[in-house]
């Protein structure tokens, strides 16, 4: 199966689905298709035979969604659009320094096939012109031409997420007419920019330009660049992120030949054009675009392709210098512990102290992505809070990304705060998630390694509260009385004193294990003060545990408000039980009355029947049936239940 078929297609507008992007592509395709001008490239005979009316557009998102319109699946040859990807391959396998020895990164302002080298460095100006592309082609790995060709095909197949082949007719046409490229190759052989046989290097270069692709293929390739070098269809990492930056930079400055300056001004997307009539563009983090329309202008760029990209850039503000970020949104909220406390149940004395001194604990919640600008906002707020805070908790729960710049700035802030009187505490940093880079940066320094980190903001806030209370001399001793523990409710003071004489007080530090699975059951533990947690092993994840219980002792004796709430709830339950029992008694009483009335009606009916039997006996004897005196008359058909009985049944149905 063609892997490209696995790409999610655009929603079906005919089925009533919401498809604004597809609708836009349909509209722009119909409008731009009316533009005339340019002609297919004739200097390569096979390209001059292409139908000039072909016109297709494809957009691939960084998560694999594909939108197409027109001739987006019609095959054509890739030509110069292959150059950015060959350049990325060279960077990936040889490194930046080695590649820069062979080819520069400066725009030329000259035609793409100029026979020209940089006189200062004696090398091609950039990898987007033919001279630079030929130098880069020589860097394809392989001992023989066949091996290098296979490696080149494997590269482009991985980029397109399907098998890519060479259009032999176009390849032979280029091989027969590529005299200008031969002049360029032999010139670079003379300057030692290439080392192999120029004819072999040119054969690979011509095969590279003759790869058969579609607009859908190139949109996926462009989306791979937009996705930091990871193919959005296969999720295969092809280029390192650092080299994707280099490729996009050169595309932005040199990808459109001597039209590059105007393109950057009007469109502002990293792009590359080819003389077959295709243009690709990559918007980092968003989409890859390909437009195919064979008629090209005098500079070698597709006429309708330029028009489409200009319209899309204006319509959706895709220019690189449009600012889509708001660094101020990184600050979700901040609050003090005198206004918002942890979930730990505190005594009245502790709550009073926190209400008076809790302003010395600040909690700062961050959100979104952390990069230089947003992290600067975060650290500026952190500095402001540190002026009158003893403890600061930074909650990263809603932060989904932190780049290298953010991690380095945060590391510097941790080192600076370690020298101050304010203690910095971090919460909700997942060591195996999107913030693992930040965890590694913190672990590299002694200050970062010593930084306190908690699983969530509530745990961090509770620790800060404990430190603040301990510093204020709050009662944290180990002595206690049994009448303060709910388990011993009902014991008299004398009985409590007797039990206290046989109990054994135990004290555990934070992190101590009280008991383990399999330990002998020798003690009965009663939680007098503090918090305990119960964790179980995850059998499907060796070495991992799951917290199933986190319990703090509710101090109802010393917490008058909690005690009153408990008493009220108990009284409410007693009152509810009394009402239910009274209701059941009323139902039973009504039922008994209804039953007695039915029995009364039945006795009256029996008496009437017996009194009437003498007059009926004669007639009945004649018919052969009759009643003897003293016989019990058959009961009449059941009467309709009386009003009381109906009421009793209705009330009984409501009892649960």
Confidence of residue 606 (pLDDT cuts 50, 70, 90): very low
For residue 463, the model assigns a pLDDT of 93
3-state SS string over 545-606? EEEEEEEECCCCCCCHHHHHHHHHHHHHHHHHHHHHHHHHHHHHHHHHHHHHHHHHHHHHHH
Residue labelled with tokens 């998560």: 63
Alpha-helical regions (H) of 328-456: 348-357, 372-386, 404-417, 436-443, 446-450
Confidence of residue 645 (pLDDT cuts 50, 70, 90): very low
Q: CA 524 to CA 55: how far, in whole Å?
A: 81
Residue labelled with tokens 């947003």: 374
For residue 18, the model assigns a pLDDT of 56
Per the document, the length of the chain is 656
> What's the mean pLDDT in 495-517?
74
Among 300, 293, 346, residue whose Cα is nearest residue 475: 346
Angle at the Cα of 404 (from 460 to 431), degrees rounded to 5? 40
> What's the mean pLDDT in 223-244?
96
Among 653, 632, 483, residue whose Cα is nearest residue 584: 653
- Nearest-10 Cα torsion for 627, 633, 637, 643: 150
For residue 122, the model assigns a pLDDT of 78
Instruction: Indicate the average pLDDT of the chain.
Output: 81
CA dihedral (255, 260, 263, 269) positive or negative? positive
Share of the chain above pLDDT 70, in %: 76
Give the DSSP H/E element, type plus range, for residue 186: helix 179-190
For residue 425, the model assigns a pLDDT of 95
Q: CA 321 to CA 314: how far, in whole Å?
A: 12
For residue 591, the model assigns a pLDDT of 63
Which are the catalytic amino acids? 80, 83, 205, 257, 275
Q: Output the six-digit token pair for 186.
A: 């032999």
For residue 444, the model assigns a pLDDT of 87
Q: Under DSSP, is residue 447 helix (H, G, I), strand (E, B) or coil?
A: helix
Q: CA 314 to CA 266: how far, in whole Å?
A: 9
Cβ atoms of 209 and 46 closer than 8 Å: no
Cβ atoms of 35 and 304 closer than 8 Å: yes
> What's the mean pLDDT in 307-314?
96
Confidence of residue 584 (pLDDT cuts 50, 70, 90): low
Residue 525 φ/ψ region, left for φ over 0, alpha for ψ in the -120 to 50 degree band, beta for the rest:
beta
> What's the mean pLDDT in 128-155?
94
pLDDT in tens, 518-570: 777 777 777 777 778 887 777 776 666 666 665 555 544 444 444 444 444 44
Note the Cα 171 to chain centre separation in Å.
45
> What's the mean pLDDT in 249-273?
92
For residue 82, the model assigns a pLDDT of 96
Question: Binding site, residues?
Answer: 80, 130, 174, 181, 205, 257, 275
> What's the mean pLDDT in 336-350?
85
Q: CA dist 497 to 133, 144, 481, 501, 529, Å? A: 92, 94, 8, 6, 19
- Cβ burial, residue 53 (10 Å; 0-12/13-18/19+): exposed
Residue labelled with tokens 């195996």: 432
> What's the mean pLDDT in 153-171?
96
3-state SS string over 316-357? HCCCCCCCCCCHHHHEEEEEECCCCCCCCCCCHHHHHHHHHH
For residue 625, the model assigns a pLDDT of 34
Sheet holding 452-454, edge to edge: 331-336, 361-370, 391-402, 423-427, 452-454
pLDDT in tens, 437-446: 898 888 888 8
Q: Output the six-digit token pair for 279.
A: 């243009």
Rg (CA), the chain: 42
List phi, psi (to 5°) of 552.
-115, 150
CA dihedral (520, 526, 530, 531) positive or negative? positive
Q: CA dist 89 to 114, 453, 502, 584, Å? A: 24, 41, 78, 85
For residue 595, the model assigns a pLDDT of 61
Q: CA 338 to CA 354: how far, in whole Å?
A: 6
Q: CA 208 to CA 223: how far, in whole Å?
A: 20
> What's the mean pLDDT in 224-238?
96
CA dihedral (308, 310, 312, 318) positive or negative? positive
Q: Which letter does DSSP use for residue 108 in this model?
A: -
Confidence of residue 457 (pLDDT cuts 50, 70, 90): very high
pLDDT of 21 over the 50 cut: yes
> What's the mean pLDDT in 483-509?
74
First to last CA, the chain: 63
Give the DSSP H/E element, type plus range, for residue 391: strand 391-402
Q: CA 251 to CA 244: how far, in whole Å?
A: 10
Residue labelled with tokens 């078929």: 5
Q: Under DSSP, is residue 212 helix (H, G, I), strand (E, B) or coil?
A: strand
For residue 505, the model assigns a pLDDT of 66
For residue 600, the model assigns a pLDDT of 53
pLDDT in tens, 166-188: 999 999 998 998 888 899 888 88
Burial letters 463-479, b for 16+ CB under 10 A, else e: bbbbbbbeeeebeeeee
pTM over 0.85? The answer is: no
Question: Binding site for substrate, residues?
Answer: 80, 130, 174, 181, 205, 257, 275
pLDDT of 635 over the 90 cut: no
Confidence of residue 408 (pLDDT cuts 50, 70, 90): very high
Note the Cα 209 to chain centre separation in Å.
39
Note the Cα 283 to chain centre separation in Å.
20
Q: Output the six-digit token pair for 59.
A: 């957009």
Count Cα atoms within 13 angstroms, Cβ side, for 187. 19
């Amino acid at each position: 199966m063609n892997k490209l078929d696995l790409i999610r297609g655009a929603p079906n507008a005919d089925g009533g689905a919401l498809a604004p992007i597809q609708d836009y592509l349909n509209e722009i395709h119909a409008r731009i298709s009316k533009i005339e001008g340019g002609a297919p490239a004739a200097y390569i005979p096979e390209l001059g035979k292409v139908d000039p009316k072909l016109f297709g557009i494809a957009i691939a998102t960084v998560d694999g969604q594909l939108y197409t319109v027109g001739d987006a699946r019609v095959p054509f040859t890739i030509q110069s659009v292959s150059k950015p990807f060959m350049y990325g391959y060279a960077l990936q396998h040889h490194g930046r320094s080695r590649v820069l020895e062979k080819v520069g990164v400066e725009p030329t302002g000259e035609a793409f096939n100029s026979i020209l080298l940089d006189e200062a460095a004696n090398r091609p100006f950039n990898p987007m012109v033919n001279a630079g592309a030929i130098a880069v082609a020589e860097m394809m790995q392989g001992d023989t031409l066949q091996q290098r060709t296979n490696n080149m095909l494997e590269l482009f197949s991985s980029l397109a997420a399907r098998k890519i082949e060479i259009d032999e007719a176009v390849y032979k046409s280029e091989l027969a007419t590529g005299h200008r490229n031969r002049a360029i190759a032999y010139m670079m052989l003379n300057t030692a920019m290439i080392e192999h046989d120029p004819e072999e290097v040119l054969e690979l270069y011509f095969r590279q330009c003759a790869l058969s692709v579609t607009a859908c293929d190139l949109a996926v390739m462009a989306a791979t660049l937009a996705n930091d070098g990871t193919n959005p269809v296969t999720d295969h990492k092809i280029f390192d992120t650092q080299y994707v930056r280099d490729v996009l930079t050169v595309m932005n400055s040199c990808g459109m030949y001597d039209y590059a300056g105007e393109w950057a001004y009007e469109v502002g997307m990293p792009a590359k054009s080819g003389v077959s009539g295709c243009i690709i563009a990559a918007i980092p983090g968003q989409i890859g675009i390909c437009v195919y329309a064979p008629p090209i202008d005098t500079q070698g760029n597709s006429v309708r392709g330029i028009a489409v990209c200009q319209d899309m850039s204006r319509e959706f503000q895709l220019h690189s210098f449009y600012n889509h970020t708001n660094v101020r949104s990184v600050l979700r909220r901040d609050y003090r512990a005198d206004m918002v406390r942890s979930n730990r149940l505190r005594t009245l004395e502790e709550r009073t102290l926190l209400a008076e001194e809790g302003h010395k604990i600040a909690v700062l919640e961050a959100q979104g992505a952390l990069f230089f600008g947003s992290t600067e906002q975060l650290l500026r707020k952190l500095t402001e809070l540190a002026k009158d805070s003893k403890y600061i908790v930074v909650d990263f729960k809603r932060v989904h990304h932190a780049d290298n710049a953010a991690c380095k700035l945060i590391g510097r802030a941790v080192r600076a705060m370690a020298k101050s009187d304010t203690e910095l505490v971090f919460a909700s940093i997942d060591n195996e998630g999107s913030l693992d880079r930040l965890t590694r940066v913190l672990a590299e320094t002694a200050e970062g390694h010593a930084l306190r980190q908690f699983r969530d903001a509530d745990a961090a806030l509770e620790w800060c509260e404990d430190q603040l209370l301990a510093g204020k001399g709050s009662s944290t001793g180990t002595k206690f009385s049994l009448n303060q523990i709910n388990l011993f409710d009902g014991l008299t003071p004398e009985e409590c004193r007797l039990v206290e004489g046989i109990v054994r007080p135990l004290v555990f530090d934070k992190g101590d294990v009280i008991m383990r699975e399999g330990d002998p059951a020798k003690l009965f533990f009663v939680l007098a003060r503090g918090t305990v947690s119960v964790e179980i092993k995850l059998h499907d994840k060796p070495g991992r545990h799951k917290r199933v219980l986190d319990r703090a002792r509710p101090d109802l004796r010393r917490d008058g408000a909690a005690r009153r709430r408990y008493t009220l709830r108990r009284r409410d339950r007693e009152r509810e039980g009394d009402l239910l029992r009274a209701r059941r008694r009323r139902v039973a009483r009504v039922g008994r009355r209804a039953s007695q009335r039915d029995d009364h009606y039945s006795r009256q009916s029996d008496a009437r029947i017996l009194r009437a039997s003498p007059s009926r006996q004669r007639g009945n004897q004649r018919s052969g049936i009759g009643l003897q005196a003293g016989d019990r008359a058959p009961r009449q058909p059941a009467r309709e239940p009386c009003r009381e009985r109906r009421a009793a049944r209705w009330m009984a149905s409501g009892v649960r």
